[in-house]
Structure 1
Amino acid sequence: MSFRLPATLLALAALLFATPTPTIQAQSAPAAQTPPAQQTKPDQNTDESGPQTDNGPLVIRKKPEDNEPPPPPAPAEPTVKNPDNETFSLRVDVPIVNLNVNVILDKTHQFVPGLKAGNFLVLEDGVPQTITSVRMTQTPITAVMLLEFAANSYYLINDMQNASYSFFRTLRPDDYVAVVTYDLHTHILTDFTNNRDLIAQALQSLTIPGFSDTDMFDALYETLDRLSRVEGRKYIILIGSGRDTFSKLTLDKILAKVKATPNVTIFSIGTGALLNELRGGRGGMGGGMADLNYLQAQNQLKTFAAMTGGLSFSPVFQGELPDIFSQINNSIRNQYVLTYRPTNTKNDGSYRKIQVLLVDNEGHPLRMQDEKGKPLKYSIITRDGYRAKLPVE
């Protein structure tokens, strides 16, 4: 008994001394682990998830593409770089001619629809061409009203105003028109616009003329030069007596300019026809017409129109104007567009003469007739030629 009692006491003492040890460690553990936990808070904010990933330097740190090699480029067409590291492509310019053609009945001035590619025969310098396509279009117009407004005759001014207002009434909302007058100088009353009010104001301003001289050649040259910088098909409605007094240009030079300006069609309305009839063919234009015959002046207007595929008129009475501008509208808005590749592919700057004929399926001249079987005469209106490009163009 005396031997076992101390052993029991020793066991109890060991239990008593052993139990406080974990209690002390548990109480002291938070104090020892707290500083590391507080130090890891900044590291917890560096997690790449959560709303703070786009703030501060984290956005810069997250961009991997700064350290990664760029992806391989996609296959591309071979290019050649010039010394300035600018790319350019090589283009082969194959000549293509687009020819605007109108076919109008002589009696009714109606446009003839329904023609096919086989009905057209195009001769370039007398050589037949192969037409690749034929289409019929009806498009808005871009036109310049080039008006003679000079202090030479009230009758000429009255004829010009009547003709210009008649053309104004035929305009549609999507037509663009500029109004230009000429005497000794050229005056732009309004640039291209589809605002009918502006066009009307420009025409209404023609009340007091200035000079009595009419430099038609210079005015037409300036107008053609401006239109050469306008895209698309353009038209000039030239209304005047046809005479020219002190232009710097000669007739040959203005004809060369007309030939060299592409995509421009001129329609001319001669003024003074009634006065010419009343005064026995002297033109009725005062002393200015003593040196220039009235018929010669009108012939100049007809030449400008014929060279560009337009029409020329010399109305005697005002009542003719509605029908005249109806013909002009039919010619402008309805037309065939023929496309062909010329057999002469030289870029030599030469002028190529063009002739367009209508043929039937057997190559004979096309004959038209009305419902009663009576033959109908028709006119083919187109340019008489074009100028080929130069090698440097």
Structure 2
Amino acid sequence: MRLCSNRSVFALASTFVLLIAPALRAQNGGTPPVATPKSAAARALAGEPPEPPSGQSQQPPAQKPESQPPLNVDRDPVLSPDAEDNEPVSPEHPGAAVRGAQTLEKGAHGGFTLKRNVDEVVLNVTVLDEGGHLVTDLKKDDFKIFEDGVPQTIASFQHQDIPVSMGIIIDNSGSMRDKRSAVNTAALDLVKASNRDDEAFVVNFSDEAFIDQDFTSDIGKLREGLAHIDSKGGTALYDAVVASADQLSKGAKRPKQALLIITDGEDNASTFSLEQTIRRIQDLQGPIVYSIGLLFGDEGGGRESRRAKRALKLLSDETGGMSFFPKSLADVDPIAAEVARDIRNQYTIGYHSTKPASLGGYRVVKVEAHGTGHGKLIVRTRSGYYPKAATPEARTAQAQQPQ
């Protein structure tokens, strides 16, 4: 039997202490020490392989997260706020309980104060004379409101430049490639011409809708959102509109809301129908829709162009907005300025319905205006709404009725 030298015994004892000391401390409730590198002797006694060369790791390197394609950076599909588990809303259930009416009042220091009234039906109303000029000097008594033909009493009346939350929805399909530069410029000019307290988000859509910039008042961020140009795929316009209306319902800070749609063709990829899309907006007591149809490539005479024009006109007319069909891209920027003027010069009128909300059903709304010295006046507002107490089943049944 070979005897170990004192140096060998000391080395073995030191190694033994290094190996068992952490376990003893952990067993006694002590705090585990920070791991220190083992000596070559300790690794040999423990049956471990030699330490790898400096700068290398024995464990395989952690996998890097897969990078997103450039166009998908910070891109989130626009989802419905009432969809469970963040799944897209189903057209079979196009309605959620509407929110209470919200109005803004001027505060003591000049700012706007949000006032909520859960029973009030609020209408954004544009008034034009026979020449198409905005009429902005009317008083409360110059208006009459009818719901299902029954006169209603006006409960609130304002004519102020109220801040708005807006969704900018831009067609990103293949046919829009050569039009996007002019379209983006017009969209930004609209924001620049709007109230400085407005907020907007950007949705680019083709087969799917992506929110490329969430709510912001920053022109630079909106410009970046508009710069996500794919220019491929089909045109799922109705799905994009429904998702954007839901986005407003979910996250808008302003009670007054609008959507601007710019597209060059007929919807050919949506799950929602045109009728369901309109009903969804009405169900939410949702935004005013302004639409710009770039249909001049087909000279506006083809069957697809006629269908696209009809769809955009209905979306705008039913929500109190305007539809435009320019003859060239040069006309788009002036149209954007007109939209900004329209939004900033509306009357906000509220009333309490004489019909109980529990009865449900769609309510047809009509507003009349008469002003001294103006002649015949043209009034634009949404065509109707669903009361808050209406059940999803009732709304769905109404949406499925033929127009």
Q: What TM-score comes out, normalization by structure 1 length?
A: 0.63
The answer to whether residue 142 in structure 2 is matched with residue 119 in structure 1 is yes
The equivalent of 2:50 in structure 1 is none
- 1:106–1:311 CA distance, 2 compared to 1 (3 A): farther
How many residue pairs were aligned? Answer: 274
- Mapped partners of 1:227, 1:203: distance in 2: 18
Q: Is the 8 A contact 1:142 1:175 kept in 2?
A: yes
Which residue does the alignment assign to 1:270? 293
Kept in 1, the 8 Å contact 2:182–2:332? The answer is no
> CA deviation digits over 1:235-274, x for unaligned, max 9?
111111251112122223222212212141111011132x
Which residues in structure 2 correspond to 1:1-393 (within 5 Å)? Answer: 95-107=119-131, 109-110=133-134, 112-157=135-180, 160-206=183-229, 208-211=230-233, 213-229=234-250, 230-231=252-253, 232-273=255-296, 275-277=297-299, 281-282=301-302, 293-359=304-370, 366=371, 368-369=373-374, 378-390=377-389
Q: CA deviation at 1:181?
A: 0.5
How far 1:160 moved relative to its partner? 3.4
Q: Secondary structure at the match of 2:210?
A: strand
Residue 92 of structure 2 is matched in structure 1 by none
Q: Is the 8 A contact 1:142 1:234 kept in 2?
A: yes
Q: In the aligned structure 2, how far is the partner of 1:392 from the partner of 1:250?
A: 20
Structure 1 160/215 Cα, relative in aligned 2: closer, same or farther at 3 Å? same
Counterpart residue identity of residue 125, structure 1: D
User: Within 1, Cα distance between the matches of 2:247 and 2:386?
Assistant: 19
TM-fit CA distance, 1:133: 3.3
Aligned AA for 1:302? K
> Shift in Å at residue 162 of structure 1?
4.9
Contact 2:163–2:256, Cα closer than 8 Å, also in 1: no
Structure with bigger gyration radius:
1
What 5-or-longer segments of structure 1 have no aligned partner? Answer: 1-92, 283-291, 360-365, 370-374
Q: 1:100 to 1:173 in 2, by over 3 A?
A: closer
Structure 1 CA distance for aligned equivalents of residues 390 and 384 of structure 2: 19
- The Cα of 1:182 is off from its aligned counterpart by 0.4
Counterparts of 1:135 and 1:233 in 2: how far apart (Å)? 12
Task: Please say if residues 315 and 321 of structure 1, whose CA atoms lie closer than 8 Å, have aligned partners that are also in contact.
Answer: yes
Deviation at 1:141? 2.2
Does structure 2 conserve the Cα–Cα contact (< 8 Å) formed by 1:241 and 1:272? yes
8 A contact 1:136–1:335 mirrored in 2: yes
Q: Deviations over 1:161-194 (max 9, x none)?
A: 4543442442454221111110011111110111
Gaps of at least 5 residues in structure 2 are 1-116, 393-403
Q: Secondary structure at the match of 2:221?
A: helix
Mean Cα displacement is larger for which, 130-139 or 309-318?
130-139
Kindly indicate whether the alpha-carbon contact (under 8 Å) linking 1:166 and 1:321 is maintained by their aligned counterparts in 2.
Answer: no
CA RMSD of aligned residues (A): 2.5
In structure 2, distance between residues paired with 1:198 and 1:300:
30
Q: CA deviation at 1:313?
A: 0.5
Once the two structures are overlaid, the 10-residue window that deviates more, 227-236 or 159-168, is 159-168
Change in Cα spacing, 1:151 to 1:137, as seen in structure 2 (3 Å) is same
Q: Per the alignment, in what secondary structure is the counterpart of residue 137 of structure 1?
A: coil
In the alignment, the residues of structure 2 paired with residue 378 and residue 320 of structure 1 have an alpha-carbon distance, to the nearest angstrom, of 26
Instruction: Work out the percentage of aligned pairs sharing the same amino acid.
Output: 27
Distance 1:153 1:235 in 2: 23
Is the 8 Å Cα contact of residues 175 and 264 (structure 2) preserved in structure 1?
A: no
1:192-246 alpha-carbon deviations (Å, 9 max, x no partner): 111111111222342x4232x1111111111122222235121111111251112
Superposition TM-score, scaled by structure 2 size: 0.62
Return closer, same or farther for 1:166/1:135 CA change in 2, 3 Å cut-off: closer
Distance 1:114-1:159 versus aligned 2 partners, 3 A rule: same
Distance 1:172 1:204, change over 3 A: farther
| Deviation, structure 1 residue 157 | 4.0
Match of 2:71 in 1: none
SS at match of 2:359: coil
Asked if the contact 2:162/2:256 (under 8 Å) is kept, the reply is no
